[in-house]
Amino acid sequence: MDKKPESKIKLTDVVLVTGKRGTGKTYFVKWYTINNLLGKTKVFVYDPLYQYGNLGKVVNNLKDVSDGDLRDFKKAIVYQPLDEMDTEENFDIVAKYCHERGHMVFVGEEINEYMTPYKITPHFRALVRRGRNYGIGLLTVSHRPAYLSLNFLNMIDHWFIFQQDLDRDLDRLVEYLRRANPDITADFIANMPDRHFIHFWRDRETGKAHAVPSKPVPAIKNMGTRPELQGWQW
């Protein structure tokens, strides 16, 4: 009997969640953060859309983060940049802050706003390339995969793909998925129901890529606290 491919996510993995707006990306990231990260490691959220405030302490300035906040694994630090501070440069300053402290999961929303297909900010690039050496994992979110750095896409360990409907995004997804699962086509991705997704990952031992359509996540309960939920067996 063939061995089932291992798809478990490690705290230091690079994880990407993509999909068009309103299909369940943020819901999934909140669910995953509550169920699999809080209580196990420090979670630092870069939250330009102000959607994660109920996961922990909200700050607009890195100076407001205390040593006690960094030691509290039960609550996330949620950095919500003021409009004038929501820039590529500031995003990279926050990435540098997390890199220097280590041992956390950096959750980044709307990362397509801070890179191009051919450019990635230096400190965020360092997190992607060497973060695991410092105990850092990444859980990143974007609604436009076609505009993400190609180097970044080649470094991800897990990719959760929700519905997309723009041709450039579909072309990019099919480019990565066709060798992992030829049955997943652009039409399949464009017609997935909300909150359904494809889980794409690479086996580090064999180098083989896998892509598996998956059911929606369970309902979130007790949002903003540490609920007693059972983890999924990926």
Per-residue pLDDT in tens (0 to 9) along the chain, 234 residues: 344 556 789 999 999 999 999 999 999 999 999 999 999 999 999 999 999 999 999 999 999 999 999 999 999 999 999 999 999 999 999 999 999 999 999 999 999 999 999 999 999 999 999 999 999 999 999 999 999 999 999 999 999 999 999 999 999 999 999 989 999 999 999 999 988 999 999 887 788 899 999 888 776 554 444 333 333 333
Task: Tell me the domain boundaries of the chain.
Answer: 14-214
Which residues are within 8 A (CB) of 175 and not within 5 positions of it... i.e. 6 or more apart? none
**The dihedral sign for the CA sequence 90, 18, 127, 155:** negative
Q: Residue 223 is encoded by which pair of tokens?
A: 């949002």
What global pTM score does this model have? 0.90
How far apart CA 120 and CA 126 sit, in angstroms, is 10
HEC string of 168-226? HHHHHHHHHHCCCCCCCCHHHHHCCCCCCEEEEEECCCCCCEEEEEECCCCCCCCCCCC
CATH number of 14-214: 3.40.50.300
